[in-house]
Amino acid sequence: MKMERPNCGMGKFVRNAFTKEKEHNGIHFEESDDSAYGGNEKPEQYQYTKDGTIDRFGRRAIKSKTGGWKAGGLVLVNQGLATLAFFGVGVNLVLFLTRVLHLSNAEAANDVSKWTGTVYIFSLVGAFLSDAYWGRYRTCAVFQVIFVLGLVLLSLSSYLFLLKPAGCGDVNATCQKASTMEIAVFYMSIYLVALGNGGYQPSIATFGSDQFDEEDPIEGASKVAFFSWFYLALNLGSLFSNTILGYFEDIGNWPFGFWMSAGSAALALIIFLAGTPSYRHFTAGGNPIPRVAQVFVAAFRKWNVRPPSDGDKLFEMGSKESAMTGRKILHSQEFRFLDKAATETDKDITSAQPHNPWRLCT
């Protein structure tokens, strides 16, 4: 006797609202239908990033609207153009100082070495501001504005004051001696370039990688690939400036080289700002110096306390989030004496007051 499955009416409707049936070789399969969650929307766990990133309004970042290669690609173009602009100045700076400002080779090389060192010093400043207070996006934006201003001032000062008579600055044409004020404006401009480029370089690569969720398998692979593309963009910008711009500057066309650098930096800034609505962000973690000091002070105050052998029993190890802003750093076996700072004593557990970070912290 052939039995037929009864038509369940509303029950079938409810089931089909969440699944689709497929038949293959006489076997029925059911697969989820995203439309059941409201059109093309997906369940919450699939909509949002899992690495803690937020959008520009401070809300959890939505994967489909933020990050990915759309945002990461803008960062790559920005890096290529900014590198072109920076090396458009640095590649022939020694020649400019000797031919235009009449410095000796030794003096010019010394000045360029100081200038290059300043770039790296400002990198420390930019990295600290980015991680502690401003976040990577604001740090990149602010220092790129300074970078553009420095290049514009360099282009103007060279064209209006230093390259006199017109066309000087090559092997054959000698420039007039500049005044002290004109030289001061020139040095101010190149150190603004050093501040702008040095301040934002440590953050731009990390900011680009922030656009990919490392908790997502696909985006995690893209995050790894991003650094290879970033290195390619950097080298392409450097290649162009060292060949094309370097050639024009070597034959004495300094205004063209400097204005090309300024225009490239301005375009890089515009492209960077254009991606503002689609960027993902990590919240700045605050000044790390007091937190480091708290660990040492708390460990010293518990000098006679023996930390647990199981690291999972330390303070905050049982939760996914840390009291500090940002992602938690995994516990390691190095510097075990600092585990005393995260060891909870009876006084810490029974205290009715919120925990004192100078006595209990991670």
Q: Which two tokens stand for residue 326?
A: 């940002």
Secondary structure class of 304 (helix, strand, coil): coil
Bond prior to 288 in cis (omega within 30° of 0): no
pLDDT digits (tens, 9 = 90+) for 69-85: 999 999 999 999 999 99
Helix (H) or strand (E) run with residue 292 in it:
helix 288-301
* Rounded Cα distance, 141 and 200, in Å: 8
Q: Which of these, 140, 174, 175, lies nearest to 268 by C-alpha position?
A: 140
172 vs 266, more confident: 266
- Tell me what percent of the residues of the chain surpass a pLDDT of 70: 80
Indicate the pTM of the whole model: 0.77
Secondary structure class of 354 (helix, strand, coil): coil
Residue 28 gets which letter from DSSP?
E
Secondary structure class of 19 (helix, strand, coil): strand
Using CB atoms within 10 A of its CB, is residue 182 exposed (0-12), middle (13-18) or buried (19+)? middle
* Rounded Cα distance, 212 and 229, in Å: 14
What ranges do the domains of the chain cover? 68-278, 288-350
Q: At residue 37, does pLDDT exceed 60?
A: no
Do 238 and 84 form a contact (C-beta atoms < 8 A)?
Answer: yes
Bridge partners, 48 (sequence order): 62
pLDDT digits (tens, 9 = 90+) for 297-315: 888 888 888 888 776 667 7
Q: Where does 68-278 sit in CATH, by number?
A: 1.20.1250.20
| Torsions phi, psi for 52 (to 5 deg) | 90, 5
Q: For residue 280, how many other CB atoms are within 10 A of its CB?
A: 27
Q: Which residue carries 């992602």 as its tokens? A: 327
pLDDT at 5 (0 to 100): 47
- DSSP readout, 183-200? HHHHHHHHHHHHHHHHHH
Do 168 and 211 form a contact (C-beta atoms < 8 A)?
Answer: no
